[in-house]
Structure 1
Amino acid sequence: MKANRIIWVLVVIAIINSMGFGIIIPLLYPYGKKFGITEHTIGLLTAAFSVAQFFATPVLGSLSDKWGRKPLLVFSLIGTAASFVLFGLANSIFMLFAARILDGLTGGNISVAQAMISDISTPKERAKNFGILGSAFGFGFVIGPAIGGLLSKFGLKVPFFFAAGIAIIGVLLTLFLLKETNQKKGSKAKQKHSFSFISLYTVLKKPVIGTAIFTGFLLTMAQFTMLIGFQTFSVDQLKLNPTQIGLFYGGFGVSGILMQMLVPAVKKVIPSQAVILLLSTICCLGMMILAGFATALLLFAIAIGIYGLFNGLRNPMLNAIIADHNDDSERGEVMGINQSYASIGQTLGPVTAGLVTAISVHSIFFLSSLYILIALLFSIRLISKEKTS
């Protein structure tokens, strides 16, 4: 099977997977209210998924190094489908938490797909291919909430079963159309290597990979901090209705997708992935500060739109840097660890945003700016570490 065909099969699987996830996200709170979920405990429900994923993804990634990417991707997609079914059948708050934890424990879809892209890509093509995969995941997240909203008119349980159905389609596509990309699975080098949770810490000591993972963690935390400010500012200050907020958020998502599709053109102008990351981080910092000072829709929309555009370069550059400096025998494991830190960033961002909301809604954007500023310092360090290595 040619590399291009594998990429496009992965693209379809990524869209299906992220669309299913996007479908249920807006419904977690209204559905959970029936079982006692409040505006305070919804954060715990979200965190349950992220904490479970933090510990599970590096294990799943390590197993994909030994047993192959395909079986682990199938396992992850089946786990996702089962969690959606469990959510739809829930009759208590405990079942809701069990469903989210199950999805987190089997949530290796993204990291395994990234490892497959890394397997089949040359160093020159990695950033482009990671951009294509990122665009697919982004597209699914953008259209998922809209589909979930439409399906919820037939009942709040319907979107969960629909999401389970499309996850099963992903399983079938993986089984029948996707070929194994890890041709060295089961080799002696991989049999000697065994995963330990201490790797979650020791990987950060690796000069290039550790710096890239921590930079990604900070930028992810900044984005999810911003999203809390985005929702609060849109409702309380701009007085937008849910439809307008959905369109606004959709525009933010589309801007990132467009930039990811332009990665090959950006790479032609600036060959260094670390330099692209640095420049995009500077732009994100400027736009987040601008959003903090915005008081009207026009300035806020410009700031968020341009931020979304340059934020779209984050994952393709970081994933390509990590893959370029990674050993073949640990590729899945390290991609899993990278996703682990991203999942924690997705949790800590909203939590810290909630803490500063008491000051003002604008303070959320300045907190996000602080995270980006620290990430900027690490991205400068990343350039020097790459040169040294």
Structure 2
Amino acid sequence: MKADKNLWILVLVCIINSLGLGIIIPVLYSYGKTFGLNGTTLGALMASFSIAQFFATPVLGSLSDKWGRKPLLVISLAGTCISFLMFAEAGSLLMLFAARILDGLTGGNVSVAQAMVADTATPQNRARRFGILGSSLAFGIVIGPFVGGVFTKLSPQAPFFFAASLSLVGTLCAAIFLRETNPSSKKTRARHHEKFKYSSLITTLKRPTIGTAVFIGFLLTMAQLAMVTGFQTFSVDILKIWPTEIGLFFAGFGLCGIIMQLCVPMFTRLIPSKALILMISSILCFAAMLYSGFISSFVPFAICMCVYGMFNGLRNPMLNAIIADNIDKGEQGKILGINQAYASIGQTLGPLTAGLVTVISIHSVFFLSSFYILAAFLLSFRLKKKE
């Protein structure tokens, strides 16, 4: 198949953008401590982004249906660039919150990029293209912490300035090289004359296939973020490994997911049913996570994390492809935006619920994560039935 130039430009933009995010997340706490940031306010700072994104992403996706994908993607990337600069020039904790909220309000990067992929994909290659896009987003997150650590040695602000420069490059690449996949015209704008209604967040969940896929994504996102919380606590308190080793361990986990997302075409050739692939990957993730709750040694834990990391990598390509297969082109931006909105809330609720169950034991986090995965697996039977 001839390479899709627009897809690869989009991949480059997503790598640049996610690399910037990967750079600042690990250094955010140590940087914010100079302004009075503590464990409690760190949680609030991270949640402020997700809450802002929950309300903004569906609106940005809906606007991209009306005015075109490219301008909304450029605005989102520019917002991220400005937020990084605000971090670098922050003089108070309030400025950190303002920067994080701005990034959330303009956080339509992922959903608009997904809509651009959906615009030009076919049912046969849609999962493959979502897999490529997902691996590019994951790549930046995996490599970013190492780059951030290097720039921290220059100055506390250096990682934020570098992340801002990367976001600026991504913004310019999108503005100059990306081709619009949803051209705006009087006809398309007339079809979308109504403003986005937040009631769509509820009505979308009521749609048989799309609503089920969105809610499954929400559950699996909560499971992943709960696992990440347990992973860090378990690694330090039970396995007694150093922060550098934890970073390498987590990078290996991320690379497993990237490799699996690049193997999506192989899976779709062997198993034509996207829902069945989702079911198989979910039950394997469930088994790995459940077993993690019973072990206390490094090697079996590493094996479980490897299995989970690999098959969790199939989640987003399959779900996004199922959603895109079942929506009209005129609402792709809105629905994928709503999907991202629920994922952002899952990113908040996952660590929050994990923190609550650690009162019982560290291992209980893995049981909680496996419960979320099991619920998603059972719901996936509805997708298979509809398919």
**Normalized against structure 1, the TM-score is what?**
0.97
Counterpart Cα distance in 2 of 1:104 and 1:192: 25
Code of the residue aligned with 1:352 in structure 2: it is T
Aligned pairs for 1:176-215 within 5 A: 176-183=176-183, 186-188=186-188, 190-215=191-216
Aligned pairs for 1:216-255 within 5 A: 216-255=217-256
Q: Per-residue CA shift, 1:301-334, capped at 9, x if unaligned?
A: 0000100000000000000000000111111010
Counterpart Cα distance in 2 of 1:250 and 1:185: 44
**How many residues are paired up?**
385
User: Contact (CA 8 Å) 2:67, 2:184: kept in 1 or not?
Assistant: no
Q: Per-residue CA shift, 1:281-303, capped at 9, x if unaligned?
A: 00000000111111100000000
Off by >6 Å, runs of 4+ in structure 1: none
User: Contact (CA 8 Å) 2:24, 2:159: kept in 1 or not?
Assistant: yes
Counterpart Cα distance in 2 of 1:3 and 1:94: 46
Shift of residue 184, structure 1, vs aligned partner? 5.7
C-alpha change, 1:303 and 1:88, in structure 2 (3 Å) is: same
C-alpha change, 1:108 and 1:186, in structure 2 (3 Å) is: farther
User: Match of 1:152?
Assistant: 152
User: Match of 1:337?
Assistant: 338
Segments of 5+ residues of structure 2 without an aligned counterpart are none
Counterpart Cα distance in 1 of 2:75 and 2:131: 25
Q: In the alignment, is residue 68 of structure 1 matched against residue 68 of structure 2?
A: yes
Q: Secondary structure at the match of 1:197?
A: coil
Aligned pairs for 1:1-389 within 5 A: 4-183=4-183, 186-188=186-188, 190-386=191-387
Q: Per-residue CA shift, 1:70-105, capped at 9, x if unaligned?
A: 000100000000000001111111000000000000
Shift of residue 183, structure 1, vs aligned partner? 3.3
Q: Per-residue CA shift, 1:220-245, capped at 9, x if unaligned?
A: 00000000000000011111111100
User: Contact (CA 8 Å) 1:65, 1:190: kept in 2 or not?
Assistant: no
Q: Per-residue CA shift, 1:60-79, capped at 9, x if unaligned?
A: 00000000000001000000
Code of the residue aligned with 2:300 in structure 1: it is L
User: Contact (CA 8 Å) 1:81, 1:163: kept in 2 or not?
Assistant: yes
Q: CA RMSD in A?
A: 1.1
Shift of residue 359, structure 1, vs aligned partner? 0.8
User: Contact (CA 8 Å) 1:67, 1:186: kept in 2 or not?
Assistant: no
Q: Secondary structure at the match of 2:196?
A: coil
Counterpart Cα distance in 2 of 1:211 and 1:185: 33
C-alpha change, 1:265 and 1:185, in structure 2 (3 Å) is: farther
C-alpha change, 1:364 and 1:186, in structure 2 (3 Å) is: farther
Counterpart Cα distance in 2 of 1:184 and 1:106: 20
Q: Secondary structure at the match of 2:179?
A: coil
Shift of residue 191, structure 1, vs aligned partner? 2.7
Q: Secondary structure at the match of 1:252?
A: helix
Counterpart Cα distance in 1 of 2:344 and 2:78: 20
C-alpha change, 1:304 and 1:66, in structure 2 (3 Å) is: same
Counterpart Cα distance in 2 of 1:191 and 1:385: 28
- Identity within the alignment, %: 61
C-alpha change, 1:107 and 1:185, in structure 2 (3 Å) is: farther
Counterpart Cα distance in 1 of 2:155 and 2:240: 28
Counterpart Cα distance in 2 of 1:93 and 1:136: 32
C-alpha change, 1:245 and 1:186, in structure 2 (3 Å) is: farther
User: Contact (CA 8 Å) 2:275, 2:384: kept in 1 or not?
Assistant: yes
Counterpart Cα distance in 2 of 1:97 and 1:381: 40
Counterpart Cα distance in 2 of 1:142 and 1:97: 24
Shift of residue 195, structure 1, vs aligned partner? 1.2
User: Contact (CA 8 Å) 1:3, 1:120: kept in 2 or not?
Assistant: no
Code of the residue aligned with 1:167 in structure 2: it is S
Counterpart Cα distance in 2 of 1:288 and 1:264: 26
Q: Secondary structure at the match of 1:187?
A: helix
C-alpha change, 1:185 and 1:273, in structure 2 (3 Å) is: farther
